[in-house]
A and B are shown apart, each in its own frame.
Chain A
Amino acid sequence: MRSDTPGLGRDEAVADTPATASPATALTDVHVVEDDQFVAASSRRLEITVAVVAVVGTVGLLFAAQGIELRREADPGQIDARFWPTILAVLGIVLAVARLITTLLRPADERTDLELTQTRGWWGLALSSLLTVAYVLLWSLRTISLPLGGYIVDFPIFVVITPLFLVGLLFIFGGRGWKTLIIFPVVTTAFIYFLFGELLRIAL
């Protein structure tokens, strides 16, 4: 049964199942999710696409294996650098073709072990991925020059961008408030810097 819980989108509605508590307990707030509503649907198209990608990938592996440059011929009985990748590629092609045939002839696999994706989940994924890439690229600069007391001082860029990265992530993930967006990033960065930079002597 669907609930009309305010603030929840259509795909987030949950069922309110009253707890079957004994008289001795006061468990009136227990809600159980009807998981079936949030299970990913099986998809024949997805299965076929995946199988085709597997066939293409393994055929590509076979060509790549044959293209490995050998410095010298293997001794009698010795295997060269192409041997093992070629075996794997052939095995992979057999399996991938078998999978493709199976997906064409039989119903698509159930995906009951996977939850349904949410629209805002895709946004969160895209934004956090972009932020992460930007963070790693900026970190590769290593130092940043900042004015301090009339001088220009070089700081490890890590200590500047990590709290900003955390603020961005927390905001994207739904965190709000000064404790979440100021205190937590600063304390976490300080802890990481102390643990990795000072204690483990890793050049951050």
Chain B
Amino acid sequence: MNGFLVGIDALLDPTVLVCMLLGLGLGLLVGAFPGITATMAVALAAGFTLTLEPVQGLAVLLTIYVAANFGDRVPAILINTPGTPASIATTFDGYPMAKQGRAGLALTVSAIGSAIGIFASLILFAAFAIPLATIANRLFGPAEMFALVVFGLTIMVSISSKSLLKGLLAGVLGLAIGTIGTYSITNDERFTLGLTDFRDGFSFIAVIIGLFGIAELLDQLLTHRPSTIKPISTLGRWWPNKSELRQIRKPMAISGGVGLIVGLVPAAGGDIAGMIGWDRAKAASKHPEEYGKGSIEGVTASDTASSATLGGSLTTTMALGVPGDSVMAVMIGSMMIWGISPGPGLFVNRPDLVVSITGIMLIATILSLGVSLVRTRGMVKLLDVPKHYIWATILVFCIIGTYATTNNLATVGMMLGAGIVGLVLKRTGFPAGPVVLGMLLGPLAEKELGRALLISGGNFGDVVSRPLTAALLGLALISISVPIIKKYRAARKSKTPQGPPSSSNDVAELSAAPGPGTTDK
């Protein structure tokens, strides 16, 4: 049987559909609750998907990933609060539309834009994942893999942190955590303090649940204040008319293109794509003055762009082994536990997985679109659920989910410790993304560097002077230099008196230096 048929056959298992329905419910729920990100949900779900078959587990996690992209638009439009960072740009026009009594229309257009963005990105994934993996498999030796890991890390650092130094330090912290345990080449113990629980290193799932789940929960506890914001209850008309459907075609095409490209950049997520897509669609619009004031084009642009990143993220994650965003970083952790190692060899050996993943994402998108269009009225009510229920449930599920990964309460302690560290990092402006990526990719980087040095007889110059390695390390250097140059230019600009910057420039700046929530879909 060829890969296509094997992939389809795996999807025909009825339990896969059950897993997808579970993921759909969870994804829409977490998306709709502000403060609970898709990363957090996928990390939590990883705890109870470990006992499943890989395709079943992927069905749960990928459906959460897709469904959260629909659910998070609801609070963005109705209470001006993004459900996840990927819907930040949705608030620009979604909330003004809702205030004008057009919330229903905004929700529908948003769902359609999100679905089209994901469909387009799936075409990209299905078409390019195997060729990219094949090329990488042929051209990438240990030196190139090491350089690729460095490139992925620097990209995440440069994107996810307002302070480059803080981002780099966060990356070093993650890499250092990745060294804890037994060094696989010589079996020497490193930083284990003599504890057997540390010999296998820190549990990746425990750390990510701590950094993304507990830290976020604790921060919400610390900063929560009674709010008088009420969801908009007058939803108005739901379906766009013919003229509105014509109007949204152009921004959809432009922002979809932006999303596809941004998605391919390792570690760049839907939040960045949403903002850039919105900005580009505005620049190309006949009515740019309406953007930010309740433009149907604006909602379409932001949501199509942010959703169109999904396929690209999946492509770089699965074909190269470098996470496309933080959700994908968590997904890699789960896949490794199932015995699947994302990277150039994956799709060459298991082409059926491309079919299974594409099928799951396709069905998940259709289901999410259907539920979003039919049940959005019900989801509005979710915004009224009191915080104490959400917080207590999250904390208990973080604990039980973490325990389920190893049946060891020491792992729960690790997770709670990571939560406290995550809170300190968050409050002091250190992004969590590079910590996770460093921890995940550190052992791989060390292994590949070790192999490359062994091949070159210990000559580091030979390792970095290989053409592809040099190119990737050069790109890594550029990705770090660009924010510094931009900052320097901005500082010089602010010293020379001139007129107010255009909103287009504002968005470009914003997308270059987003807050800590970035890349956390």
Within 8 A of A (CB), among B79-99: 80, 99
Q: A114-B427, A139-B409 are in contact. Are A188 and B186 (CB under 8 A)?
A: no
Report B168-187 residues with CB < 8 Å from chain A CB.
Answer: 168-169, 172-173, 175-176, 179, 183, 185-187
Count of inter-chain pairs, beta carbons less than 8 A:
214
For residue A151, give the distance in angstroms from its CB to the closest CB of chain B.
29
Is A115 among interface residues, defined by CB-CB distance under 8 A?
Answer: yes
- Residues in chain A near residue B393, CB distance under 8 A: 188
- Nearest chain A CB to B390 CB, angstrom units: 9
* Chain A residues with CB below 8 A from B229, complex form: 30-33
**Is A148 positioned at the interface, with any CB of B under 8 Å from its CB?**
no
**Complex partner residue of B221 from A9, A32, A128, A170, CB under 8 angstroms:** A128
Segment among B317-325, B335-343, B454-462 that sits at the interface with chain A: B454-462
Point out the residue from A30, A68, A99 that lies within 8 Å of B232, measured CB to CB: A30
A114 and B456 contacting across the interface, CB-CB below 8 Å: no
With the chains together, A88 CA to B445 CA distance in Å? Answer: 12
Residue in contact with A202 in the complex, picked from B101, B186, B230, B404, CB distance below 8 Å: B404
Contact with A along B444-458 (1 / 0, CB 8 A): 001001100110111
Query: Across the interface, do B165 and A192 meet the contact criterion of CB distance under 8 Å?
Result: no
A160-193 residues with Cβ-Cβ distance < 8 A to B are: 162, 165-166, 169-170, 173-175, 180, 184, 188, 192
Taking a contact as CB atoms under 8 Å apart, the answer to whether B183 and A81 are in contact is yes
Query: A residues 121-135 with Cβ under 8 Å of B?
Result: 121-122, 124-125, 128, 132-133, 135
Query: Within 8 Å of chain A (Cβ to Cβ): is B226?
Result: yes
Q: Does B332 reach chain A (CB closer than 8 Å)?
A: no
Task: Knowing A98-B165, A166-B396, A180-B388 are in contact, say whether A117-B223 is a contact too (CB < 8 A).
Answer: yes
* Chain B residues within 8 Å of chain A by Cβ, number: 76
**Contacts of B489-521 to chain A: CB distance below 8 A:** 515-517
- Contact across chains for A140 and B409 when beta carbons are under 8 A apart: yes
B186 touches A70 (CB 8 A): yes
Query: How many Å lie between the Cα of A96 and that of B430 in the bound state?
Result: 13
The chain B residue sitting closest to A75, CB to CB, is B454
> Do B391 and A173 touch across chains, with their CB atoms under 8 A apart?
yes
B186 with A74: CB separation less than 8 A: yes
- Which residues of B sit under 8 angstroms from A200, Cβ to Cβ? 48, 51, 404
Are A78 and B48 interface neighbours, CB within 8 A? Answer: no
CA distance A22 to B225 in the complex (A): 30
Decide if A71 touches B227 in the complex (CB within 8 Å).
Answer: no
Q: Do B221 and A124 have beta carbons less than 8 Å apart?
A: yes
B163 proximity list for chain A (CB < 8 A)? 99, 109
> Is B454 within 8 A of A77, CB to CB?
yes
Chain A residues near B188 (CB-CB < 8 A): 68-71, 80-81
B474 on the A face (CB < 8 A): no
**Quick one: which of A54-96 are within 8 Å of B by CB?**
54, 58, 61, 64, 68-72, 74, 76-81, 84-85, 88-89, 91-92, 95-96
Q: Which interface residue of A7, A11, A40, A173 has the most chain B CB atoms within 10 A?
A: A173
With a cutoff of 8 Å between Cβ atoms, the chain B residues found around residue A33 in the complex are 227, 229
Chain A residue numbers with a CB within 8 Å of B453 are 77-79
Bound CA span A40–B426, Å? 12
Q: Chain B contacts of A54 at CB under 8 A?
A: 169
A116 at interface by CB-CB < 8 Å: yes
B141 touches A (CB below 8 Å): no
Q: Which chain B residues border A12 with CB–CB below 8 Å?
A: 225-226
Q: Does B201 contact A (CB under 8 A)?
A: no
Residue B100, interface by CB 8 Å: yes
Say yes or no: is A1 at the interface (Cβ < 8 Å to chain B): no
A31-B229, A31-B230 known; A88 vs B172 contact (CB < 8 Å): yes
Contact A79 B449 (CB under 8 A): yes
Q: Which of A14, A47, A111, A133 contacts B227 (CB 8 A)?
A: A14
Bound CA span A6–B410, Å: 46
Q: Please state if A27 and B172 are interface contacts (CB–CB under 8 Å).
A: no
B399 touches A132 (CB 8 A): yes
Tell whether, in the assembled complex, residue A166 and residue B427 are in contact, meaning their CB atoms are under 8 Å apart. Answer: no
With a cutoff of 8 Å between Cβ atoms, the chain A residues found around residue B225 in the complex are: 8-9, 11-12, 38, 118
Q: How far is the CA of A118 from the CA of B222 in the complex (A)?
A: 6
Closest to A92 in B: B172
A123 to B169, alpha carbons, bound, how many Å? Answer: 31
- Answer whether residue B392 sits at the interface, using C-beta atoms and an 8 A cutoff: yes
- Closest Cβ of chain A to B359, distance in Å, is 25
B428 interface contact, C-beta 8 A: yes
Asked whether, in the complex, the Cβ of B48 is within 8 Å of the Cβ of A195, the reply is: yes
Given A29-B230, A88-B175, A196-B48, also A169-B223 (CB < 8 A):
no
Task: Mark contacts of B150-168 with chain A using CB atoms, 8 A cut-off: 1 yes-contact digit, 0 otherwise.
Answer: 0000000000001101101
Cα distance A31–B95 in the bound complex, in angstroms: 12
Interfacial chain A residues near B224, Cβ < 8 Å: 118, 121, 124
A188 and B388 form a contact (CB under 8 A): no
B407 interfacial by beta-carbon distance below 8 Å: yes
* Most chain A CB within a 10 A radius of its CB, from B388, B413, B427: B388
Indicate which residue in B51, B399, B457 contacts A136 across the interface (CB closer than 8 Å). Answer: B399
A152 contacts chain B at the CB level, 8 A cutoff: no
Q: Which of B186, B221, B427 contacts A81 (CB 8 A)?
A: B186
Kindly state whether residue A102 has any CB partner on chain B within 8 Å.
yes
Does B261 touch A at the CB level, under 8 Å?
Answer: no
Report yes or no: A85 in contact with B99, Cβ–Cβ below 8 A: no
Within 8 A of A (CB), among B278-299: none
A113: B residues at CB distance < 8 A: 162, 515-517
Contacting B223 at CB < 8 Å: which of A21, A46, A118? A118
Beyond the given A25-B99, A111-B429, A165-B396, please list 11 additional residue pairs across the A-B interface where CB-CB is below 8 A: A20-B99, A71-B186, A79-B185, A79-B446, A81-B183, A85-B190, A88-B176, A98-B165, A175-B388, A200-B51, A202-B403
Across the A-B interface, the 5 shortest Cβ-Cβ residue pairs: A25-B101, A113-B515, A173-B388, A81-B188, A115-B223
Ordered by A's residue number, 7 sampled pairs between the chains whose C-beta atoms are within 8 Å are A21-B101, A22-B101, A25-B234, A27-B99, A85-B179, A88-B176, A139-B409
